[in-house]
Structure 1
Amino acid sequence: MARKTETVQLPLALGHDPVADREHLLVSASIAPAVDLVDRWPDWRGPMVVLVGPPGSGKSHLATIWRGMSQARDVTDNLRNGRPVPYRQGAFLFEDADRAGFDETALFHLINTVRQNGGSLLITARDLPGLWPVALADLRSRLLAATVVEIGAPDDQLLEQVIFKLFADRQLEVDSRVVSYLVSRMERSLDSACQIVDEIDRLALSRGRRITRALAAEVLARRENATV
C-alpha cells in the first residue's frame, strides 16, 4: 500500500486526531446552509438557531466547530439532568435536543437569558422543533420562533471528499474508482463513511494487501450481513 504525507484533515471524531476547525471543513451543497450559519456567527438573524439533520449528516461536527469559534458552553448535561445553567452571558450549545428528555423550564429560562443578554444558543436535533414532545406552551412558542437550518443527507460530492480525506488521514492512497464504488453502495452517512474506511484499512493491513474494489466490496457485504 502506498502511503503519503497529508496535512488536511476532517472535523470528524476519529482515532487519527483530525482537526475540528472551519479551515479544514469540507463543503458541498448538502451542508452549505449550515456552513453559512457557522460563518455568519455572531451576525445571526436571531439569538437561537436549531440545526436539524438526519443521523450522520454532520450536524454535531458543525456544532463542534461553532463551539470552538464562539467559545460556547455545552449545557447539554445541565438541561438533561435538571441542573440550572450558571451563566448569564455568552454562547451556549445544546446537542440532540429531541433524542432524550430535558428540563423544559430550564431550557425556557436559558432562551430568555440569551435573548435578554445578547447571547447565542445553538441547538442540534434530528426533527423540526414543532415535532418535539414539548408540554410547556411558552417553551414551544419560543422554539417555533427559532431560526431553523436543515441539513440533508450527505450528497455524492461530500461523501467522496470525506472518504478521500479519511484515507489521507491514514496516509493511504486509494483509487478514485474504489471511492466511487463505495459511494454508490454505502449508507449515506458521515458516520458510516468513518466506519467503512476504518474497516477497509484494518482488513487491508491484516492481509498485507492494497485497497481494491474487491476488498471494499467485502467490507460492504460484511456490514450488510451484520444488519440482517
Structure 2
Amino acid sequence: MTKETDTLQLPLALGHDPAADREHLLVSASIAPAVDLVDRWPEWRAPVTVLSGPAGSGKSHLSAIWKGMSEAHDVTDNLRAGRPIPYRQGAFLFEDADRAEFDQTALFHLINTVRQNSGSLLITARSAPGLWDITLADLRSRLQAATLVEIGAPDDALLQQVIVKLFSDRQLEVDQRVVTYLVSRMERSLDAACRIVDQIDRLALARGRRITRALAAEVLTARENAV
C-alpha cells in the first residue's frame, strides 16, 4: 500500500495468531482433492505424491498440516544444498520443487528409499513434474509414477471463508458486504487475501476508523497503483 501521510498514527506491528491446524482448515471445491490427500495419509495410493498449485493456493498450509500429522522430515534444504539426508525411514517433505535447483540424484535416491522402506514423500510445486527441468532420466521416470494432486485457483467460496477467518483471527467482525466486495475485485490468491486483510486492518487502526467498503476500496486501489 502506498505510504500514508505523516499525520497518521501508525499502529504497532502486533503479531496475530491465525488458526492453522486441520480443525480450522477451510475447504471448498478448489482445494478439496488436496485436503482429501492429507486426510487419507498414510493410506496413499503411491508412496510419493506431488501437490501442485499456483502461488497462494494453500500448498504451504496443507503441507504444514501433513508434516505435523506424519512427523515428516523436511529435506528441502538438504536437496537444495546437496547435503546427505540422514534418515532412512518415515515421512519426508520437499517443498517448492520447481522454484530452485536441487540435487536430482539425491531426490532419486530418496524416492527409492521411501519406496523400499514403506515411507511417504510429499513434494509441493507450482507445476506438474512434467514441466520441471529434470535432466536425470531415472528421476523423471520416478516422478511420472508419483501421484499428482492439483489445487485450482481459489474460488469465491474459499476466498470469502479465508477473508472472514483472517479478520476473525484479528478479533475483527466485518460486514459481509465488505467481504463480498473484496472477493469480487481482488487477486485470486490466498496470499493476496492475507496481505489485503493486513493492510485494511493497519489502515483502519491508523485512522481510528471502522472497516468499511470505502476503506477496502482504498486499499485495493493503492495495491493496483503500486503494481
Query: SS of the counterpart of 1:210?
Result: coil
Write out per-residue CA displacement over residues 144-200 of structure 1, whole angstroms, 9 at most, x where no aligned residue: 110000000000000000000100111111000000000000000000000000000
1:95-106 equivalences under 5 Å are 95-106=95-106
1:207 aligns with 2:211: no
Alignment check: 8 A CA contact 2:33 2:149 kept: yes
Contact 2:134–2:140 (8 Å) recurs in 1: yes
Q: Residue in 2 aligned with 1:171? A: 171
Match of 2:150 in 1: 150
Residue 86 (1) aligns with residue 83 (2): no
In structure 2, how many angstroms separate the alpha carbons of the residues matched to 1:77 and 1:92?
A: 12
In the alignment, what sits opposite 1:53?
Answer: 53
For 2:38 and 2:21, locate their aligned partners in 1 and report how far apart those are by CA, in whole Å. 11
Confirm or deny: 8 A CA contact 2:47 2:120 kept in the other structure.
yes
Question: Does 2:143 match 1:140?
Answer: no
Task: Note the C-alpha offset of 1:41.
Answer: 0.1
Cα distance in 2, alignment partners of residues 15 and 149 from structure 1: 33
TM-score, normalised relative to structure 2:
0.93
Deviations 1:28-81 (A, max 9, x none): 000000000000000000000000000000011100000000000100000000
Q: Structure 1 regions of 5+ residues with no counterpart? A: 1-13
What pairs up with 1:119-138 in 2 under 5 angstroms?
119-138=119-138
Aligned residues: 214
Q: CA deviation at 1:84?
A: 1.1
Cα distance between partner residues in 1 of 2:59 and 2:93: 12
After the TM superposition, which parts of structure 1 deviate over 4 Å for at least 4 consecutive aligned residues? none
The residue identity in structure 1 corresponding to 2:63 is A
Q: 1:199 aligns to what SS in structure 2?
A: helix
Computed over aligned residues only, the root mean square deviation of the Cα atoms, in angstroms, reads: 0.9
Contact conserved, 2:52 with 2:149, CA < 8 A, in 1? yes
Q: Give the equivalent residue in structure 2 for 1:196.
A: 196
Q: SS at the partner of 2:101?
A: coil
Q: Which amino acid aligns with 1:135?
A: T
SS in 2 for 1:166: helix
User: Partner amino acid for 1:17?
Assistant: D
Q: Distance in 1 between matches of 2:23 and 2:220?
A: 31
Cα distance between partner residues in 2 of 1:185 and 1:147 = 34
Contact 2:19 2:169 in 1 (8 A): no
Measure how far apart 1:21 and its partner are.
1.6
Matched, 1:74 2:74: yes
Give 1:17 shift.
2.1
Alignment of 1:1-16 (within 5 A): 15-16=15-16
> 2:218 aligns to what SS in structure 1?
helix
Aligned to 1:111, what secondary structure does the other structure show? helix
Within 5 Å, give how 1:217-228 maps onto structure 2: 217-227=217-227
Q: Structure 1 vs Structure 2: percent identity of aligned residues? A: 83
CA distance in 1, matches of 2:226, 2:55: 19
